[in-house]
Amino acid sequence: MPTAKFYEEPIDPYLPQNGNRGYRVSRYELELQYKVASNRLAGKATITAVTTAIRTKFALDLSQSLTVSKVTVNGSRAEKYAHQRGKLVITPQEKIPSGGVLSIVVQYAGTPKPIRGPWGEVGWEELSEGVIVASQPNGAASWFPCDDHPSSKASYRISITTDSPFYALANGTLMRKQVKSSQTTWVYEQSEPMASYLATIQIGQYERRRIGREDVPMNAVVPPRLRAEFDHDFARQPQMLRTFVKLFGPYPFADYTVVVTDDKLEIPIEAQGISIFGANHCDGRRGAERLVAHELAHQWFGNSLTIRVWRDIWLHEGFATYAEWLWSENSGGPTAEQLAKAARHNLSRLPQDITIGDPGPELMFDDRVYKRGALTLHALRNELRDTKFFDLLRTWTAKHRHSSVTTEEFTDLASHYARFPLRPLWDAWLNEKTLPELSPRS
């Protein structure tokens, strides 16, 4: 296939190779076949979009580990396509008017592997028996062609066919499960808009069961050997959900599923409607409960409300970290004030060379973004006091439910709840490197 130059101004300077112009995706339909033993993936992706400009060609993000065999656009074979440097550039036979329907079907196959970057390896990864997909920030292209940027949110249907002994999980509601010979097909529908990095597949020797009796169904997908440890370590999750609904507003999705892999994971990972933990997070002593709270909170802050650009990552991680402190405060542990003081003390002993409102791509997952982001919210809470602060959070999650957000939108909304201008607070906590003092609760 001939090569083609295709460069445009980056959508996000933090990830200049990711995201594409000229269209907005509304839906992905993925039909996947996966062989666990050989780590072989074959896929057919149907991508429905609306064009935003008249163009001669369109691009999708797709790893070079996967080989494209056929591309059609609006029912006709593409005039040509080129796949290089992680971009699949497609030239339709005819120009499509602005505002027109763009339906692209890509057939592909290969041996998927994670995408390497400054943050390690992300995306599709083999486990000892199965698969974990953790794509933040740019790993979605490791397993399907997409517009891989957080502001690009769409509905999904994911069909995954794999070997019958394995349980296969994807985002959304299980619509159909069909066993045929040695293969099982699982079909999931994710109707709420979802960023591509939050799409996931989890495959393993798991059992699935309902936990708790909440209005929001909560599920566990766990290896049988870890059932007792899970039941102890995650026992307070229903209470945690009730606490967060009270503080943040209604849970934004149809249900919530926790996966525990049979392998160790360095950190847990969020996906839309799903959180993934390693076997090491089930220690029988609730040693990871703060992380359980953190990942659950991401369903509001990160998955329902998703940042438009990666610069604003504190809107995900600062909020989820503050949720850890709120859970502690509401469950008999140290108060958020106590945890904030301890966090500030610890941060004061670290280099003060980061502005969390724009940390730069290399530092966007630095723990200081998490902790100082949480401190920013605690400083705001101390300024607004509890009633207005939690009213603000509930309004924030309701106003931007299932959409994209920016720091400016949050600070603008917060100004309506304040007696005095908040600009000094935002400048000190988000825009300056020097760590501010934490003002006492009024």
* Nearest-angstrom CA–CA distance, 325 and 318: 11
Note if the bond before 137 is cis, omega within 30 degrees.
Answer: yes
295 is annotated as an active-site residue:
yes
> Given this model, what pLDDT does residue 442 score?
61
Q: Which two tokens stand for residue 62?
A: 């797709």
> Given this model, what pLDDT does residue 4 score?
44
Rounded alpha-carbon distances, angstroms, from residue 376 to 29, 329, 356, 436: 40, 17, 10, 10
Q: Which two tokens stand for residue 110?
A: 């290969």
Is position 400 annotated in a ligand binding site? no
Q: Given 189, 192, 295, 409, which residue is catalytic?
A: 295
* Nearest-angstrom CA–CA distance, 346 and 321: 15
Residue in the block written with tokens 């994209």: 404
* Nearest-angstrom CA–CA distance, 177 and 184: 7
Q: Which amino acid is at 304?
A: S
Q: Where are the domains of the chain?
A: 23-203, 207-299, 307-431
Summarised one tens digit per residue, pLDDT across range 376-405 is 999 999 999 999 999 999 999 999 999 999
Residue in the block written with tokens 């296939």: 1
Could you give phi then psi for residue 121, rounded to 5 degrees?
-105, 130
The dihedral built from the CA positions of residue 220, 267, 236 and 396, taken in this order, carries a sign that is: negative
Is position 94 annotated in a ligand binding site? no
Strands 23-35 and 153-163: parallel
The CATH code of domain 207-299 reads: 3.30.2010.30
| Alpha carbon of residue 401 to chain centroid | 15
Residues of the chain with pLDDT under 70: 1-7, 442
Architecture of 307-431 per CATH? Orthogonal Bundle (1.10)
Q: Given 197, 251, 322, 370, which residue is catalytic?
A: 370
94 is annotated as an active-site residue:
no
Domain 23-203 sits in CATH 2.60.40.1730 = yes
0.85 surpassed by pTM: yes
> Given this model, what pLDDT does residue 9 score?
85
Summarised one tens digit per residue, pLDDT across range 19-43 is 999 999 999 999 999 999 999 999 9
Is position 298 annotated in a ligand binding site? yes
Q: Would you say 358 and 406 are in contact if contact means Cβ atoms under 8 Å apart? A: no
> Given this model, what pLDDT does residue 258 score?
98
